[in-house]
Chain A
Amino acid sequence: MDLVILGCGRVGSRVANIADRRHHVTVIDWHGNAFERLHPDFSGDTVLGNGIDVDILRSAGAADARLFLAVTENDDSNLMAAQVARRLGAKRVVARIYDPVRAEVFEGMGVTTVSPTINGAQALFKRVTDPEGA
């Protein structure tokens, strides 16, 4: 399947490197040196540009993507890019949102969100209350 990832930071590059084994991956980032985080054998495409620009999203193939993943450091950029990609025709869009309340608001408006703040807090809480646990 075709996967388009916006943001080639720690998370984006990691997902790209894993998915690259089985899927066609295109990664978008504003900073050219971000692509250095990709595996040397990375076989997908890279697009240099502003990920909230509709022309950049189009040239990265967001319209035909089976999955569009927005994982820049900026919640608002992720939410905007995800919604634009959805309108262009991406089958599924997921945005990483640090602000749990913002994530909740947009879940209600049809954007699938992943909040590392909620997940991280839960994981930490589990370790604290059950340090010996599984």
Chain B
Amino acid sequence: MYIVVVGAGKVGYHLTKSLLAEGQEVLVIEKERLKVDRITRELGATAIQGDGAEVATLELAGLERADVVAAVTGHDEDNLIVAQVAKGKFDVPRTVARVNNPRNEFIFAELGIDATVSATQVILSVIQQVIPHHPFVHLLTLREGGIEFVELQLTEDCPAAGKHAGEVDLPADTAIPLLIRQGSPLVVQADTLLQPGDRLVAVTTSAQEDILRQHVLGTAG
């Protein structure tokens, strides 16, 4: 397998090292001379200096015979364009791009990149798995007036579970206009029965937030 890695930062360096250890043929393209020198010194003559989105550099790297191109710089825009040029100009069978902004995973897929890897997303999901559920989540803060939009997830032992919405003792300046039940939004009326599993979307103020939390979830902040 011939693998071209673009970007010799920490990810590029360790990726190259691991691939070489597996016996793969690897070439690294890196803009900065110092990083190229480090690869050459520590891993052997396996790096060239240049802009990985420039066609001349990619020709020099023999991209037409590459099996995989991995664009792993710290810049999403560079990784996207490198992978698109590899695919569009050189017909590389598999392009992999690192994304830093998790929102870009979807965009890269739309724009034809075969695989994306987001360290941010990976770390986020690991953390979310450790925390079983988030009973209280800040959705949005409006600076003016200190207004908060929060989400409260009901479980069986919450004081509000099993009550009608009108029976819940809400603090001042607070309302629960909406809830999400099994993935669908539902406008809350005074006679709406609140059930375990419901996610309530509440509008409150920073001053009342803790009281709301106590009255609905039964837990302090």
B80 — which chain A residues lie within 8 A by C-beta? Answer: 76, 79-80
Q: Is the CB of B107 within 8 A of A84?
A: yes
CB-contact partner of B103 in A53, A74, A77, A102, under 8 A: A53
Q: Interface digits, A81-104 against B, CB 8 Å rule (1 contact, 0 not)?
A: 101100100000000000101100
Q: Is the CB of A76 within 8 A of B55?
A: no
Q: Is the CB of A101 within 8 A of B77?
A: no
Q: Is the CB of B54 within 8 A of A99?
A: yes
Does B101 reach chain A (CB closer than 8 Å)?
yes
CB-contact partner of B81 in A53, A76, A101, under 8 A: A76
Q: Is the CB of B77 within 8 A of A54?
A: no
Q: Is the CB of B103 within 8 A of A109?
A: no
Closest CB in chain A relative to B95 CB, distance in Å: 14
CB-contact partner of A102 in B54, B77, B111, under 8 A: B54
Q: Is the CB of A76 within 8 A of B89?
A: no
**How far apart are the CA atoms of A23 and B53 in the complex, in Å?**
35
**How far apart are the CA atoms of A83 and B81 in the complex, in Å?**
11
**How far apart are the CA atoms of A102 and B53 in the complex, in Å?**
8
A109 — which chain B residues lie within 8 A by C-beta? Answer: 84, 88
Does B76 reach chain A (CB closer than 8 Å)?
yes
Does B209 reach chain A (CB closer than 8 Å)?
no
**How far apart are the CA atoms of A126 and B101 in the complex, in Å?**
45
Q: Is the CB of A105 within 8 A of B76?
A: no
B147 — which chain A residues lie within 8 A by C-beta? Answer: none
Closest partner residue, chain A, to B110 (CB atom): A87
Closest CB in chain A relative to B112 CB, distance in Å: 9
* A54 in contact with B103 given A79-B81, A105-B85, A109-B84 (CB within 8 Å): yes
Q: List 7 A-B contacts (CB under 8 A).
A: A52-B76, A52-B77, A53-B101, A74-B77, A75-B53, A79-B77, A83-B111
18 other A-B residue contacts (CB within 8 Å) besides A76-B80, A109-B88: A53-B103, A55-B103, A75-B81, A76-B53, A76-B75, A76-B77, A79-B80, A80-B76, A80-B80, A101-B55, A105-B55, A105-B85, A105-B88, A105-B89, A106-B84, A106-B88, A108-B88, A109-B84
Q: Which residues of B contact A (CB under 8 A)?
A: 53-56, 75-78, 80-81, 84-85, 88-89, 101, 103-104, 107, 110-111
